[in-house]
């Protein structure tokens, strides 16, 4: 029996095509194309139950109809007493030689815990800065306090709530057998989340639309840009 003929899908604009890819492609494909996957939902709790995501991985990867990935989604308010932390990453000349990346962590106005930092090590990419910002937020936050991290990086949310679980089971290998990119930071992030779960704290993640006049996101972005202009960390 011969191979089935390929099927083609027509899009009216490049934006529609990119939105379709972001909705349905694997994280590796999105990363190869320089796109952020948009399969993250509005809120993603980390349950800590056997360190599984709140929703089964099989359910998360089912194809869904394309939607406008730039539409606002309602923010799910966490329970009273939860510490809300905005995080962001920035990379000047991202993906090019000589890029400079920084991260920002925003707890609130005039909060002494607000943090700017140049991304340590290489490569100096936006995705690594986004992940490191989330890790720093959990390192700064009290170990036993419930935390909600708000970020405009759906890639980072998926890493923390879905993909890391699968990658850990597969010894941090992709479906093609290669090593998972940014796994050094993702491993540390997963370990910190497990530590918080053992301490009785919950960790949830909320996607927010970037550059949409969200005060917390704007401040995290400002701090990340400050970090990207700091001296390199050897």
Alpha-carbon gap, residue 120 to 46, rounded angstroms: 26
pLDDT (average), residues 85-94: 97
Better-predicted residue by pLDDT, 218 or 55: 218
Give the pLDDT score at 76.
72
Token couple for 135: 């890790």
- Fill in the DSSP letter of residue 39: -
What are φ and ψ of residue 42, in 5° steps?
-60, -45
Domains along the chain?
14-228 (3.30.420.10)
Active site residues: 88-89, 130, 152, 211, 221
Better-predicted residue by pLDDT, 79 or 225: 225
Mean pLDDT (the chain) is 81
Q: How confident is the model at residue 24 (pLDDT cuts 50, 70, 90)?
A: low
Token couple for 222: 């400002």
Q: pLDDT tens, 166-181?
A: 999 999 999 899 999 9
Give the pLDDT score at 16.
61
pLDDT (average), residues 35-39: 51
Lowest mean pLDDT among 93-97, 120-124, 216-220, 227-231: 93-97
What are φ and ψ of residue 175, in 5° steps?
-60, -25
What element of type H or E holds 90?
Answer: strand 83-92
Give the pLDDT score at 32.
54
Q: How confident is the model at residue 53 (pLDDT cuts 50, 70, 90)?
A: very low
Alpha-carbon gap, residue 197 to 74, rounded angstroms: 26
Alpha-carbon gap, residue 211 to 110, rounded angstroms: 21
Give the pLDDT score at 59.
42
Cα dihedral across residues 220, 39, 18, 159: positive or negative: positive
- Give, in order, the Cα–Cα distances in Å from 181 to each of 109, 169, 222: 34, 16, 26
Alpha-carbon gap, residue 29 to 214, rounded angstroms: 30
What are φ and ψ of residue 10, in 5° steps?
-95, 140
pLDDT (average), residues 108-112: 97
**All residues at 6 or more sequence positions from 85 whose CB lies less than 8 Å from its CB, including other chains:** 105, 106, 107, 137, 141, 147, 148, 149, 150
Give the pLDDT score at 77.
79
- Give, in order, the Cα–Cα distances in Å from 41 to each of 76, 141, 183, 224: 11, 24, 22, 24
Strand partners, 44: 205
Cα dihedral across residues 188, 118, 124, 222: positive or negative: positive
Alpha-carbon gap, residue 195 to 147, rounded angstroms: 13
Q: Can you give the pTM of this predicted structure?
A: 0.71
Q: How confident is the model at residue 234 (pLDDT cuts 50, 70, 90)?
A: confident
Q: How confident is the model at residue 69 (pLDDT cuts 50, 70, 90)?
A: very low
What element of type H or E holds 222?
Answer: helix 215-228
pLDDT (average), residues 203-224: 95
Better-predicted residue by pLDDT, 79 or 120: 120
Q: pLDDT tens, 127-158?
A: 999 999 999 999 999 999 999 999 999 999 99
């Amino acid at each position: 029996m011969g191979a089935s003929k390929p099927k083609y899908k027509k899009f009216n604009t490049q934006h529609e095509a990119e939105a379709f890819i972001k909705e349905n492609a694997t994280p590796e494909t999105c990363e190869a194309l320089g796109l952020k996957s948009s399969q993250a939902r509005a809120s993603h709790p980390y349950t800590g139950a056997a360190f599984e995501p709140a929703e089964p991985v099989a359910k998360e990867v089912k194809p869904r109809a394309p939607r406008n990935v730039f539409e606002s989604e309602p923010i799910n308010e966490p329970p009273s007493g939860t510490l809300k932390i905005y995080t962001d990453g920035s990379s000047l000349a991202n993906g090019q030689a000589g890029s400079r990346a920084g991260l920002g962590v925003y707890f609130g106005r005039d909060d002494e815990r607000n943090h700017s930092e140049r991304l340590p090590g290489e490569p100096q990419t936006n995705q690594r800065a986004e992940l490191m910002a989330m890790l720093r937020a959990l390192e700064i936050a009290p170990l036993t306090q419930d935390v909600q991290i708000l970020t405009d990086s759906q890639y980072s949310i998926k890493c923390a709530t879905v993909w890391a679980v699968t990658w850990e089971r597969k010894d941090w290998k992709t479906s093609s057998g290669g090593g998972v990119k940014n796994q050094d930071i993702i491993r540390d992030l997963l370990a910190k989340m497990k530590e918080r779960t053992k301490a009785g704290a919950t960790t949830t993640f909320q996607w927010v639309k970037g550059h949409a006049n969200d005060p917390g996101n704007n401040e995290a972005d400002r701090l990340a840009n400050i970090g990207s202009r700091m001296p390199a960390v050897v």
